[in-house]
Amino acid sequence: MSLIDISGNLLFVAFIAYLVATLLFGGSIKQANATGKNTGKWGKLAIVVTIIGFLSQLGYFITRWIYTGHAPVSNMFEFTTAFGMFIVGAFILIYFIYRLTALGLVALPVALLIISYAAMFPKEVSPLVPSLQSHWLTIHVITAALGQSILAISAVAGLIYLLKVVDLTKPSKQRFWLEAVMYCLVVVVGFVAVTSTFGAMDYESSYNYVDKEGTTRKIIYNLPPIFGMNEYEAVEEHGMSPLVEMPALINAKKLTTVFWSLLVGSILYLLIRLIARRRISAIFQPLVKRVNLQLLDEVGYRSVLIGFPVFTLGALIFAMIWAQIAWSRFWGWDPKEVWALITWLFYAAFLHLRLSKGWEGRKSAWLALIGFGIILFNLIAVNLILAGLHSYA
C-alpha cells in the first residue's frame, strides 16, 4: 500500500470517527435532558472518539505532506480538508477549557460538511505552479485556516445560543434568519449529493472557450451545464447545452455547480420540512435547552479574541509577504484578497461593537454567524464563481 493510499484511509477513519462522536454527543445530551443529570460517561467517550478522529486526520495531513513534498493546502481539496481538521482541533481545545458538550453537537457536523465538501474536488497530487512554490504559501494558508477555524467556533457557540433563546413558535425576523442558517447547511449537503451522483455516473461535457486574456482553452463539466463559458463551443456534449453564456470574469462551470447545489439543497430542505412537519431549527432546539447561555457567550467572544489576530497574521500580513514574492506586489485587489479584507474588517467591527457598544448575547451571536457566513462565502462562492489569481484553488 502506497503512502497516498494510507493518507486516504486515515482521512476516511477520521470522517467515520467524527460521525460516531456526533452521535455520542447527541446521545449524551438526550440522556442528560431525560434524567436531568450530566452523563459524563457518554460525553467522555464522545471526546475520546473525536480525538482519535483528529489524530487520524492529522496523520492524513502529515503522510500526504511527505508524499507530495509540500504542505497539503495548495488546492480546494487539500485546503478545505485542512480547514475541517482545524475546526475539530479548535473544538477539542475549547472543550477541555469549558466542558460544553453541546459544542460538539454542532462543531463536528460543520467539520463533517466541510470535509464532505472537500471530497467533491479532485484528490490527485499535481505539481505546484510557480507562484505556489514558496514556504510563505505554507505559512500563509495554514495560519489563515487556523484563524478561520477558531472564528468558526464563535459561530458554533452563537448558533447554539440562538437555538435556545429564539422563540420558534412565533413569526419573527430572528426565527426566519435562524432557519435560513439551517437551510444553508442543507444546501452543502445538496452539493455533496449532486456531485456524488453525477460523479458516480462519470458525467462529462467538454467545451472550448475564450478566457479574459483572450486565450482559447478547454473545460470539462462534470454536471449538466446550465451556464456556459465565455464564447463557448461544444467539443463533446452529453444531454444538454448551456442555457446562458457568462462573461470571462465568471467561471461558468463553478457557477453551474452552485446552481445545482442550490436546487438539490432546496429540494432536500423541503423534504425534511414535509417529513418532520416543523422547522429544522425546531428539531434541534430541544437538544440545547440545558446549555449555559453566559458560558456560550463567553466562548463566542473569546474565540473571536483569539482567532482574529491569528487570521490577521495569516490572511493579511503573511499573505502580503507571499504576494510580494509571487507577483511582485503586496496587494492587487484580487477577489480573494478583497474578501479576506472584508472578513478582517467585519471581525474588527465585531470587537469594536462588543467592547465599546456592549453588544453581547443575541447581538454577538448573530454577528458571529454573519462572520462565519462571510468566511464560507469566501471559501465557496469566491473560489467557485469569480476568476482570479487564486483560481488554482
**What are 355-375's pLDDT values in tens digits?**
888 888 899 999 999 999 999
68-104 confidence digits (pLDDT tens):
888 888 888 888 999 999 999 999 999 999 888 889 9
CA 311 to chain centroid, in Å, comes to: 15
104-123 confidence digits (pLDDT tens):
989 999 999 899 888 777 78
Q: Are 189 and 169 in contact (CB under 8 A)?
A: no
Q: Is the pLDDT of residue 324 over 90?
A: no
pLDDT of the residue at 302: 93
Q: What does the alpha-carbon distance between residue 233 and residue 241 come to, in Å, rounded to a whole number?
A: 10
Nearest to 310 by CA among 81, 98, 154: 154
pLDDT of the residue at 392: 47
Q: Is the pLDDT of residue 381 over 80?
A: no
**What's the whole-number average pLDDT of the chain?**
86
pLDDT of the residue at 335: 78
Beta strand pairing call for 205-210 and 233-236: antiparallel
